[in-house]
Amino acid sequence: MRLSHYFLPTLKENPGEAQIVSHRLMLRTGMIFQASSGIYAWLPMGRRVLRKIEQIVREEQDRAGAQEILMPTIQSADLWRESGRYDAYGEEMLRIADRHEREMLYSPTAEELVTDIARKHIKSYRDVPKMMYQIQWKFRDEIRPRFGVMRGREFLMKDCYSFDLDYEGALVSYRKMLEAYIKTFSRMGLTAIPVKADSGAIGGDLSQEFQVLAATGESLIFYDRALDEIVRQGGVVDVDRLMSLYAAEEGLHDPHICKVPQDQLKTARGIEVGHIFYFATKYSDPFKASVVGKNGESITLHMGSYGIGVSRLVGALIEANHDENGIIWPEAVAPFTVGLLNLKPGDGKCDALCEDIYHKLLTQKVEVLYDDRNERAGAKFANMDLIGLPWQIRVGARTLETGKIEIKYRRTGEIQELSLESALNYLKERVGA
Protein backbone atom coordinates (compact mmCIF):
# COMPACT_ATOMS: atom_id res chain seq x y z
CA MET A 1 0.00 0.00 0.00
CA ARG A 2 1.25 3.47 -0.92
CA LEU A 3 0.87 5.96 1.90
CA SER A 4 0.00 8.72 -0.60
CA HIS A 5 -3.08 6.68 -1.44
CA TYR A 6 -3.82 5.20 1.99
CA PHE A 7 -6.53 6.72 4.13
CA LEU A 8 -4.49 7.22 7.30
CA PRO A 9 -5.63 10.49 8.89
CA THR A 10 -2.93 10.87 11.57
CA LEU A 11 -3.17 13.79 13.99
CA LYS A 12 -0.24 16.05 14.83
CA GLU A 13 -1.54 16.86 18.31
CA ASN A 14 -2.64 14.61 21.11
CA PRO A 15 -6.43 14.55 21.22
CA GLY A 16 -7.63 16.19 24.42
CA GLU A 17 -10.44 13.79 25.18
CA ALA A 18 -8.26 10.69 25.41
CA GLN A 19 -7.26 9.79 28.96
CA ILE A 20 -5.26 6.64 28.29
CA VAL A 21 -2.39 5.95 25.95
CA SER A 22 -4.13 3.40 23.70
CA HIS A 23 -7.07 5.70 23.10
CA ARG A 24 -4.69 8.60 22.38
CA LEU A 25 -2.56 6.56 19.98
CA MET A 26 -5.51 5.04 18.17
CA LEU A 27 -6.92 8.51 17.49
CA ARG A 28 -3.50 9.98 16.62
CA THR A 29 -2.71 7.19 14.14
CA GLY A 30 -6.12 7.48 12.50
CA MET A 31 -7.11 3.92 13.40
CA ILE A 32 -10.52 4.91 14.72
CA PHE A 33 -13.06 7.69 14.37
CA GLN A 34 -15.47 8.50 17.15
CA ALA A 35 -18.99 8.38 15.75
CA SER A 36 -20.91 8.82 19.03
CA SER A 37 -20.12 8.48 22.71
CA GLY A 38 -18.45 5.08 23.13
CA ILE A 39 -19.07 4.17 19.48
CA TYR A 40 -16.28 4.10 16.91
CA ALA A 41 -15.75 3.59 13.23
CA TRP A 42 -12.62 1.63 12.35
CA LEU A 43 -10.56 3.32 9.66
CA PRO A 44 -8.33 1.28 7.31
CA MET A 45 -5.35 0.74 9.63
CA GLY A 46 -7.58 -0.04 12.61
CA ARG A 47 -9.64 -2.41 10.48
CA ARG A 48 -6.52 -4.28 9.41
CA VAL A 49 -5.41 -4.84 13.01
CA LEU A 50 -8.89 -5.90 14.02
CA ARG A 51 -8.96 -8.46 11.21
CA LYS A 52 -5.57 -9.89 12.18
CA ILE A 53 -6.79 -10.36 15.73
CA GLU A 54 -10.07 -11.87 14.53
CA GLN A 55 -8.16 -14.33 12.39
CA ILE A 56 -5.87 -15.53 15.18
CA VAL A 57 -8.87 -15.92 17.48
CA ARG A 58 -10.75 -17.83 14.77
CA GLU A 59 -7.87 -20.19 14.01
CA GLU A 60 -7.41 -21.13 17.66
CA GLN A 61 -11.15 -21.59 18.20
CA ASP A 62 -11.27 -23.86 15.16
CA ARG A 63 -8.22 -25.77 16.34
CA ALA A 64 -9.92 -26.34 19.71
CA GLY A 65 -12.83 -27.95 17.87
CA ALA A 66 -15.30 -25.08 18.20
CA GLN A 67 -17.48 -24.38 15.15
CA GLU A 68 -18.12 -20.87 13.88
CA ILE A 69 -21.68 -19.59 13.74
CA LEU A 70 -23.09 -16.07 13.66
CA MET A 71 -26.02 -14.90 15.72
CA PRO A 72 -27.97 -11.71 15.02
CA THR A 73 -27.32 -8.54 16.98
CA ILE A 74 -31.05 -7.81 17.38
CA GLN A 75 -32.84 -10.38 19.48
CA SER A 76 -36.27 -10.87 20.93
CA ALA A 77 -36.98 -9.79 24.51
CA ASP A 78 -39.12 -12.92 24.97
CA LEU A 79 -36.04 -15.11 24.77
CA TRP A 80 -34.36 -13.05 27.46
CA ARG A 81 -37.43 -13.30 29.68
CA GLU A 82 -37.04 -17.07 29.72
CA SER A 83 -33.72 -16.75 31.54
CA GLY A 84 -34.93 -13.87 33.69
CA ARG A 85 -32.18 -11.61 32.38
CA TYR A 86 -34.47 -9.22 30.53
CA ASP A 87 -35.44 -7.69 33.84
CA ALA A 88 -32.16 -8.39 35.65
CA TYR A 89 -29.87 -6.75 33.11
CA GLY A 90 -30.73 -3.16 33.88
CA GLU A 91 -29.93 -0.09 31.86
CA GLU A 92 -26.83 -1.53 30.21
CA MET A 93 -29.12 -3.42 27.87
CA LEU A 94 -30.10 -1.46 24.78
CA ARG A 95 -33.84 -2.03 24.47
CA ILE A 96 -35.69 -1.46 21.23
CA ALA A 97 -39.27 -1.56 20.04
CA ASP A 98 -39.70 -2.54 16.40
CA ARG A 99 -42.37 -1.13 14.08
CA HIS A 100 -44.91 -3.61 15.41
CA GLU A 101 -44.04 -2.57 18.99
CA ARG A 102 -42.43 -5.92 19.66
CA GLU A 103 -39.78 -5.68 22.37
CA MET A 104 -36.31 -6.38 21.03
CA LEU A 105 -32.79 -5.71 22.28
CA TYR A 106 -29.23 -5.42 21.03
CA SER A 107 -27.46 -8.55 22.21
CA PRO A 108 -24.89 -7.84 24.98
CA THR A 109 -23.98 -11.58 24.99
CA ALA A 110 -25.74 -14.62 23.57
CA GLU A 111 -26.34 -17.40 26.11
CA GLU A 112 -30.10 -17.20 25.56
CA LEU A 113 -30.08 -17.50 21.78
CA VAL A 114 -27.44 -20.21 21.62
CA THR A 115 -29.40 -22.21 24.22
CA ASP A 116 -32.50 -21.77 22.09
CA ILE A 117 -30.60 -23.15 19.09
CA ALA A 118 -29.34 -26.05 21.20
CA ARG A 119 -32.73 -27.04 22.58
CA LYS A 120 -34.19 -27.11 19.09
CA HIS A 121 -31.32 -28.89 17.32
CA ILE A 122 -29.24 -30.84 19.85
CA LYS A 123 -31.41 -33.82 20.64
CA SER A 124 -29.29 -36.85 21.41
CA TYR A 125 -26.34 -37.69 23.65
CA ARG A 126 -24.55 -38.47 20.38
CA ASP A 127 -24.81 -34.79 19.36
CA VAL A 128 -22.53 -33.66 22.18
CA PRO A 129 -19.95 -32.44 23.05
CA LYS A 130 -20.39 -29.34 20.90
CA MET A 131 -18.69 -25.98 21.05
CA MET A 132 -19.97 -23.09 18.96
CA TYR A 133 -18.51 -19.62 18.71
CA GLN A 134 -19.13 -16.38 16.91
CA ILE A 135 -17.21 -13.16 16.37
CA GLN A 136 -19.95 -10.57 16.44
CA TRP A 137 -20.71 -7.00 17.53
CA LYS A 138 -22.30 -6.53 20.91
CA PHE A 139 -23.74 -3.51 22.64
CA ARG A 140 -23.65 -2.52 26.30
CA ASP A 141 -25.03 0.86 27.10
CA GLU A 142 -22.30 1.93 29.55
CA ILE A 143 -23.39 4.91 31.59
CA ARG A 144 -20.00 6.59 31.09
CA PRO A 145 -18.16 5.15 28.09
CA ARG A 146 -14.45 5.99 28.15
CA PHE A 147 -10.96 4.82 27.33
CA GLY A 148 -11.78 4.49 23.63
CA VAL A 149 -12.31 0.92 22.47
CA MET A 150 -11.36 -0.35 25.95
CA ARG A 151 -14.75 0.52 27.32
CA GLY A 152 -16.90 1.34 24.35
CA ARG A 153 -20.60 0.71 23.97
CA GLU A 154 -20.52 -1.14 20.64
CA PHE A 155 -17.72 -3.69 20.74
CA LEU A 156 -16.56 -6.80 18.94
CA MET A 157 -16.54 -9.97 20.98
CA LYS A 158 -15.76 -13.60 20.36
CA ASP A 159 -18.19 -15.65 22.39
CA CYS A 160 -18.07 -19.42 22.49
CA TYR A 161 -20.51 -21.81 24.16
CA SER A 162 -20.01 -25.44 25.10
CA PHE A 163 -22.62 -28.17 25.53
CA ASP A 164 -21.88 -31.34 27.44
CA LEU A 165 -23.69 -34.17 29.21
CA ASP A 166 -22.25 -33.57 32.64
CA TYR A 167 -19.66 -31.77 34.73
CA GLU A 168 -16.83 -34.05 33.61
CA GLY A 169 -17.59 -33.37 29.96
CA ALA A 170 -17.91 -29.65 30.58
CA LEU A 171 -14.54 -29.67 32.31
CA VAL A 172 -12.94 -31.18 29.19
CA SER A 173 -14.47 -28.37 27.08
CA TYR A 174 -13.37 -25.78 29.63
CA ARG A 175 -9.79 -27.06 29.55
CA LYS A 176 -9.76 -27.01 25.75
CA MET A 177 -10.77 -23.37 25.77
CA LEU A 178 -8.25 -22.53 28.48
CA GLU A 179 -5.55 -23.98 26.24
CA ALA A 180 -6.92 -22.18 23.17
CA TYR A 181 -6.82 -18.87 25.04
CA ILE A 182 -3.21 -19.36 26.13
CA LYS A 183 -2.27 -20.01 22.49
CA THR A 184 -4.36 -17.13 21.18
CA PHE A 185 -2.82 -14.47 23.41
CA SER A 186 0.67 -15.90 23.13
CA ARG A 187 0.46 -15.72 19.31
CA MET A 188 -0.36 -12.02 19.65
CA GLY A 189 2.79 -11.45 21.69
CA LEU A 190 0.84 -10.81 24.88
CA THR A 191 1.40 -12.12 28.38
CA ALA A 192 -2.13 -12.95 29.52
CA ILE A 193 -2.48 -14.48 32.98
CA PRO A 194 -5.58 -16.57 33.75
CA VAL A 195 -6.74 -15.51 37.20
CA LYS A 196 -9.51 -16.81 39.41
CA ALA A 197 -12.57 -14.73 38.70
CA ASP A 198 -15.84 -13.80 40.22
CA SER A 199 -18.58 -15.43 38.20
CA GLY A 200 -20.50 -12.14 38.04
CA ALA A 201 -24.03 -11.79 36.78
CA ILE A 202 -23.96 -15.07 34.84
CA GLY A 203 -23.14 -17.36 37.75
CA GLY A 204 -21.14 -20.57 38.07
CA ASP A 205 -18.08 -21.84 39.85
CA LEU A 206 -15.25 -22.68 37.43
CA SER A 207 -14.32 -19.25 36.20
CA GLN A 208 -11.13 -17.51 35.08
CA GLU A 209 -10.34 -14.13 33.59
CA PHE A 210 -7.40 -13.47 31.30
CA GLN A 211 -5.46 -10.39 32.33
CA VAL A 212 -2.97 -8.88 29.88
CA LEU A 213 -0.01 -7.49 31.76
CA ALA A 214 0.35 -3.76 31.21
CA ALA A 215 1.56 -1.03 33.54
CA THR A 216 -1.61 0.91 32.78
CA GLY A 217 -3.94 -2.01 33.61
CA GLU A 218 -7.08 -1.36 35.64
CA SER A 219 -6.78 -4.37 37.95
CA LEU A 220 -4.09 -5.51 40.33
CA ILE A 221 -3.34 -9.21 40.14
CA PHE A 222 -1.32 -11.63 42.29
CA TYR A 223 0.12 -14.75 40.70
CA ASP A 224 2.72 -17.44 40.82
CA ARG A 225 5.59 -16.33 38.64
CA ALA A 226 5.74 -19.81 37.07
CA LEU A 227 2.63 -18.78 35.16
CA ASP A 228 4.56 -16.18 33.19
CA GLU A 229 6.58 -18.72 31.30
CA ILE A 230 3.73 -21.08 30.50
CA VAL A 231 1.50 -18.40 29.07
CA ARG A 232 4.27 -16.71 27.09
CA GLN A 233 5.51 -19.74 25.25
CA GLY A 234 2.10 -20.94 24.08
CA GLY A 235 3.05 -24.15 22.23
CA VAL A 236 2.15 -27.32 24.13
CA VAL A 237 0.25 -26.18 27.18
CA ASP A 238 0.41 -28.17 30.41
CA VAL A 239 -3.17 -27.55 31.47
CA ASP A 240 -2.93 -29.46 34.75
CA ARG A 241 0.06 -27.41 35.85
CA LEU A 242 -1.60 -24.22 34.63
CA MET A 243 -4.73 -24.87 36.64
CA SER A 244 -2.75 -25.73 39.75
CA LEU A 245 -0.90 -22.41 39.87
CA TYR A 246 -2.21 -19.56 41.98
CA ALA A 247 -3.50 -16.36 40.38
CA ALA A 248 -6.18 -13.99 41.66
CA GLU A 249 -7.39 -10.49 41.21
CA GLU A 250 -7.00 -8.10 44.14
CA GLY A 251 -10.61 -8.49 45.27
CA LEU A 252 -10.32 -12.28 45.36
CA HIS A 253 -6.73 -12.52 46.54
CA ASP A 254 -6.53 -14.01 50.01
CA PRO A 255 -3.03 -14.05 51.56
CA HIS A 256 -4.22 -16.70 54.02
CA ILE A 257 -5.16 -19.12 51.26
CA CYS A 258 -2.37 -18.25 48.84
CA LYS A 259 0.44 -20.78 49.39
CA VAL A 260 2.86 -19.26 46.90
CA PRO A 261 6.14 -18.36 48.67
CA GLN A 262 6.54 -14.60 48.94
CA ASP A 263 9.56 -14.46 46.60
CA GLN A 264 7.60 -16.33 43.92
CA LEU A 265 4.42 -14.28 44.15
CA LYS A 266 4.27 -11.60 41.49
CA THR A 267 2.09 -8.53 41.58
CA ALA A 268 1.21 -6.75 38.36
CA ARG A 269 -1.43 -4.67 36.73
CA GLY A 270 -3.66 -6.30 34.14
CA ILE A 271 -6.30 -5.57 31.52
CA GLU A 272 -9.10 -8.09 31.23
CA VAL A 273 -9.35 -9.41 27.68
CA GLY A 274 -11.08 -12.74 28.15
CA HIS A 275 -13.24 -14.74 30.49
CA ILE A 276 -14.01 -18.44 30.52
CA PHE A 277 -16.53 -20.09 32.75
CA TYR A 278 -18.67 -23.06 33.42
CA PHE A 279 -22.20 -22.40 34.62
CA ALA A 280 -23.72 -25.88 34.69
CA THR A 281 -27.43 -25.81 33.85
CA LYS A 282 -28.12 -22.15 34.61
CA TYR A 283 -29.62 -21.61 31.14
CA SER A 284 -30.40 -25.15 30.03
CA ASP A 285 -32.70 -25.60 33.03
CA PRO A 286 -35.12 -22.73 32.31
CA PHE A 287 -34.81 -23.36 28.55
CA LYS A 288 -35.33 -27.10 28.98
CA ALA A 289 -32.31 -27.73 26.77
CA SER A 290 -31.88 -31.45 27.21
CA VAL A 291 -30.93 -34.48 25.17
CA VAL A 292 -32.03 -38.09 25.18
CA GLY A 293 -29.42 -40.32 26.83
CA LYS A 294 -28.29 -43.84 25.97
CA ASN A 295 -31.13 -45.39 27.90
CA GLY A 296 -33.82 -43.00 26.78
CA GLU A 297 -33.47 -40.77 29.83
CA SER A 298 -33.55 -36.97 29.58
CA ILE A 299 -30.24 -35.22 30.34
CA THR A 300 -30.07 -31.47 30.88
CA LEU A 301 -27.08 -30.01 29.06
CA HIS A 302 -24.15 -28.57 30.98
CA MET A 303 -22.87 -25.35 29.49
CA GLY A 304 -19.92 -23.03 29.63
CA SER A 305 -19.21 -19.75 27.92
CA TYR A 306 -15.94 -18.27 26.77
CA GLY A 307 -15.44 -14.66 25.74
CA ILE A 308 -12.65 -12.63 24.19
CA GLY A 309 -12.91 -8.87 23.81
CA VAL A 310 -11.69 -8.62 20.23
CA SER A 311 -11.95 -4.83 19.80
CA ARG A 312 -10.76 -4.33 23.38
CA LEU A 313 -7.66 -6.37 22.52
CA VAL A 314 -6.57 -3.67 20.08
CA GLY A 315 -6.44 -1.24 22.99
CA ALA A 316 -4.81 -3.78 25.32
CA LEU A 317 -2.15 -4.57 22.70
CA ILE A 318 -1.23 -0.90 22.49
CA GLU A 319 -1.24 -0.46 26.27
CA ALA A 320 1.25 -3.33 26.46
CA ASN A 321 3.27 -2.31 23.39
CA HIS A 322 4.20 1.35 23.05
CA ASP A 323 6.84 3.89 23.96
CA GLU A 324 6.97 7.69 23.98
CA ASN A 325 7.20 7.73 20.17
CA GLY A 326 4.16 5.63 19.47
CA ILE A 327 2.89 2.09 19.00
CA ILE A 328 5.16 -0.97 18.74
CA TRP A 329 3.09 -3.65 17.04
CA PRO A 330 3.86 -7.30 17.70
CA GLU A 331 4.45 -8.80 14.28
CA ALA A 332 1.46 -11.15 14.27
CA VAL A 333 -1.04 -8.31 14.59
CA ALA A 334 0.82 -5.45 12.88
CA PRO A 335 -1.25 -3.70 10.18
CA PHE A 336 1.79 -3.99 7.89
CA THR A 337 5.05 -5.79 8.58
CA VAL A 338 7.34 -3.30 6.88
CA GLY A 339 7.32 0.46 6.42
CA LEU A 340 9.34 1.54 3.39
CA LEU A 341 10.55 5.15 3.63
CA ASN A 342 11.56 7.05 0.51
CA LEU A 343 13.71 9.84 1.94
CA LYS A 344 14.32 11.57 -1.40
CA PRO A 345 10.92 11.51 -3.09
CA GLY A 346 11.11 13.11 -6.51
CA ASP A 347 14.67 11.92 -7.08
CA GLY A 348 14.49 9.59 -10.07
CA LYS A 349 17.05 7.10 -8.80
CA CYS A 350 15.68 6.98 -5.28
CA ASP A 351 12.12 6.61 -6.55
CA ALA A 352 13.14 3.78 -8.88
CA LEU A 353 15.00 1.97 -6.12
CA CYS A 354 12.06 2.29 -3.75
CA GLU A 355 9.65 1.03 -6.40
CA ASP A 356 11.93 -1.93 -6.96
CA ILE A 357 12.08 -2.76 -3.24
CA TYR A 358 8.31 -2.22 -2.90
CA HIS A 359 7.55 -4.70 -5.65
CA LYS A 360 10.09 -7.22 -4.41
CA LEU A 361 8.47 -7.16 -0.98
CA LEU A 362 5.00 -7.53 -2.47
CA THR A 363 6.23 -10.48 -4.54
CA GLN A 364 7.58 -12.04 -1.35
CA LYS A 365 4.10 -11.49 0.14
CA VAL A 366 5.48 -9.14 2.76
CA GLU A 367 2.82 -6.61 3.79
CA VAL A 368 4.41 -3.25 3.19
CA LEU A 369 3.32 0.35 3.63
CA TYR A 370 5.35 2.52 1.26
CA ASP A 371 5.78 6.13 2.38
CA ASP A 372 6.06 7.72 -1.05
CA ARG A 373 4.78 11.11 0.10
CA ASN A 374 6.56 14.36 -0.57
CA GLU A 375 7.54 14.97 3.05
CA ARG A 376 10.72 15.69 5.02
CA ALA A 377 12.73 12.72 6.27
CA GLY A 378 12.21 13.79 9.89
CA ALA A 379 8.44 13.83 9.51
CA LYS A 380 8.56 10.39 7.88
CA PHE A 381 10.68 8.95 10.69
CA ALA A 382 8.35 10.32 13.35
CA ASN A 383 5.24 9.13 11.52
CA MET A 384 6.60 5.62 11.00
CA ASP A 385 7.60 5.35 14.66
CA LEU A 386 4.15 6.60 15.64
CA ILE A 387 2.22 3.98 13.66
CA GLY A 388 4.68 1.39 14.91
CA LEU A 389 5.22 -1.12 12.10
CA PRO A 390 7.77 -3.74 13.25
CA TRP A 391 10.33 -3.02 10.51
CA GLN A 392 11.39 0.12 8.68
CA ILE A 393 13.42 0.20 5.49
CA ARG A 394 14.95 3.60 4.83
CA VAL A 395 16.17 4.55 1.40
CA GLY A 396 17.79 7.94 0.81
CA ALA A 397 20.86 9.87 -0.35
CA ARG A 398 23.24 7.57 1.51
CA THR A 399 21.73 4.53 -0.15
CA LEU A 400 22.45 6.00 -3.57
CA GLU A 401 26.09 6.61 -2.53
CA THR A 402 26.86 3.42 -0.64
CA GLY A 403 24.35 0.98 -2.09
CA LYS A 404 23.25 0.19 1.46
CA ILE A 405 19.83 0.59 2.95
CA GLU A 406 18.95 1.01 6.59
CA ILE A 407 16.73 -1.44 8.38
CA LYS A 408 15.30 -0.37 11.70
CA TYR A 409 13.63 -2.72 14.14
CA ARG A 410 11.00 -0.60 15.84
CA ARG A 411 10.91 -2.52 19.12
CA THR A 412 14.59 -2.09 19.97
CA GLY A 413 15.39 0.88 17.77
CA GLU A 414 18.32 -1.09 16.39
CA ILE A 415 19.42 0.02 12.92
CA GLN A 416 21.46 -2.06 10.50
CA GLU A 417 23.03 -1.02 7.24
CA LEU A 418 22.78 -3.76 4.67
CA SER A 419 22.97 -4.25 0.94
CA LEU A 420 19.55 -4.50 -0.68
CA GLU A 421 19.92 -8.22 -1.21
CA SER A 422 21.05 -8.91 2.34
CA ALA A 423 18.27 -6.72 3.66
CA LEU A 424 15.60 -8.63 1.77
CA ASN A 425 17.07 -11.95 2.82
CA TYR A 426 17.32 -10.80 6.41
CA LEU A 427 13.67 -9.73 6.41
CA LYS A 428 12.62 -12.92 4.71
CA GLU A 429 14.21 -14.93 7.50
CA ARG A 430 12.91 -12.76 10.32
CA VAL A 431 9.43 -12.25 8.96
CA GLY A 432 9.11 -15.76 7.64
CA ALA A 433 7.45 -14.49 4.48
By CB under 8 A, tell whether 154 contacts its own copies: yes
Closest CA to 283 of 119, 397, 128: 119
* Nearest distance in Å: CB 394, its own copies: 23
By CB under 8 A, tell whether 101 contacts its own copies: no
Site residues for its own copies, window 7-36 (CB under 8 A)?
7, 9, 30, 33, 35-36
Dihedral sign of CA atoms 17, 23, 24, 29 in order: negative
First to last CA, the chain: 17
With contacts defined by CB under 8 A, name the span among 4-12, 198-206, 341-349, 360-368 that binds its own copies. Answer: 4-12
Q: Enumerate residues 6+ apart whose C-beta is below 8 A from 392.
A: 338, 339, 340, 341, 384, 406, 407, 408, 410
CA angle, 361 as apex, 360 and 364 as ends, to 5°?
90
By CB under 8 A, tell whether 418 contacts its own copies: no
Q: Enumerate residues 6+ apart whose C-beta is below 8 A from 150.
A: 20, 22, 23, 271, 312, 315, 316, 319
Rounded to whole angstroms, how far apart are CA atoms 29 and 413? 20
> From the list 14, 41, 267, 365, which residue makes contact with its own copies (rule: CB under 8 A)?
41
**Smaller CB distance to its own copies: residue 79 or 213?**
79
Residue type, 205: D
By CB under 8 A, tell whether 48 contacts its own copies: yes
255 phi, psi to nearest 5 deg: -60, -25
Q: Enumerate residues 6+ apart whose C-beta is below 8 A from 13.
A: none
Instruction: Supply the angle between the helices 44-63 and 310-320 in degrees, to the nearest 10.
Output: 110
By CB under 8 A, tell whether 143 contacts its own copies: yes
By CB under 8 A, tell whether 306 contacts its own copies: no
Give the binding-site size for its own copies (rule: CB under 8 A): 55
Element (H, E) at 34: strand 32-36
By CB under 8 A, tell whether 400 contacts its own copies: no
**Smaller CB distance to its own copies: residue 29 or 191?**
29
Rounded to whole angstroms, how far apart are CA atoms 278 and 1? 45
> From the list 15, 59, 73, 286, which residue makes contact with its own copies (rule: CB under 8 A)?
73
By CB under 8 A, tell whether 40 contacts its own copies: yes
Prior bond of 129 cis (ω within 30°): yes
> From the list 19, 137, 201, 293, which residue makes contact with its own copies (rule: CB under 8 A)?
137
With contacts defined by CB under 8 A, name the span among 97-105, 189-197, 238-246, 387-395 that binds its own copies. Answer: 97-105
> From the list 59, 76, 125, 426, which residue makes contact with its own copies (rule: CB under 8 A)?
76
* Nearest distance in Å: CB 154, its own copies: 5
Rounded to whole angstroms, how far apart are CA atoms 396 and 379? 14
With contacts defined by CB under 8 A, name the span among 70-78, 188-196, 235-243, 401-409 that binds its own copies. Answer: 70-78
By CB under 8 A, tell whether 132 contacts its own copies: yes
With contacts defined by CB under 8 A, name the span among 19-27, 89-97, 226-234, 395-403 that binds its own copies. Answer: 89-97
Rounded to whole angstroms, how far apart are CA atoms 302 and 279? 7
With contacts defined by CB under 8 A, name the span among 5-13, 16-24, 195-203, 359-367 that binds its own copies. Answer: 5-13
> From the list 74, 352, 379, 397, which residue makes contact with its own copies (rule: CB under 8 A)?
74
Q: Decide: helix, strand or coil at residue 212.
A: strand
Q: How many CB atoms lie within 10 A of CB 420?
A: 17
* Nearest distance in Å: CB 32, its own copies: 10
Which residues of the shown chain bind its own copies in the complex (CB under 8 A)? Answer: 4-7, 9, 30, 33, 35-36, 39-44, 46-48, 50-51, 65, 67-76, 79, 91-92, 94, 96, 98-99, 102, 104, 106, 113, 116-117, 120-121, 126, 130, 132, 137, 139, 141, 143, 153-154
